[in-house]
Amino acid sequence: MLGLIGGMVATTLVYQGLYFVQKQPLGVVLGIESKAEYLRRFVYDYQAMEYLNNNLRPGDRVLMMWDGNSYYCKTHCLPDTDQTRWLRLIGQNPTVESVSKTLSEMNVTHLFFSQGDFAWFSKYHDPSGIHRQAMQYFLEVFQEACTRDIYHDKYVTIYKITCLDIVEIK
């Protein structure tokens, strides 16, 4: 029994050591590195969240498409915790105009698209391809007619919705 406990403790210490070497948190603990610098290194969408927190107006609201992780987004984000919000939105609204109207009613002014979150979700949880079709609609129809790219990095694109007040899109 003592050997089992000792083995578990040793395994835990090895994993903690590997984590410590990989993540290098000592700089943050000692105050050499800021929390924001550390998070930029390890949270893929932290820079996009910083952009939202620093550049959006108080009433702006961001729909996070296929992304339920809004921890670092202070007040603006509407996370997609079940990763189906965009799919349901376009399923219930057959035209760009009706999608735009529904987003306006939700007070959504921006869309947050994480390539990695969508890729993971579509790879492991979309055997029928319906989410890929919803993304294709976004990229080929809605994005072109109704958005402007205001932030883009390796992982995330943030779009401003430009047609919220447009009654009819030609």
pLDDT at 165: 58
- Reply yes or no on whether the pLDDT at 113 is more than 50: yes
E strand residue ranges, 10-138: 62-65, 77-78, 110-114
Residues 60-109 pLDDT 10s: 999 999 999 999 998 999 999 999 999 999 999 989 999 999 999 999 99
Confidence of residue 167 (pLDDT cuts 50, 70, 90): very low
Average pLDDT of the segment spanning 138-142 = 95
Strands 110-114 and 77-78 turn out to be: unpaired
What residue ranges do the domains of the chain occupy? Answer: 1-40, 43-161
> How big is the chain, counted in residues?
170
Q: What class is the 43-161 domain?
A: alpha beta
Q: Which phi and psi (to 5°) does residue 135 adopt? A: -70, -40
3-state SS, residue 96 = helix
Query: How much is the pTM?
Result: 0.84
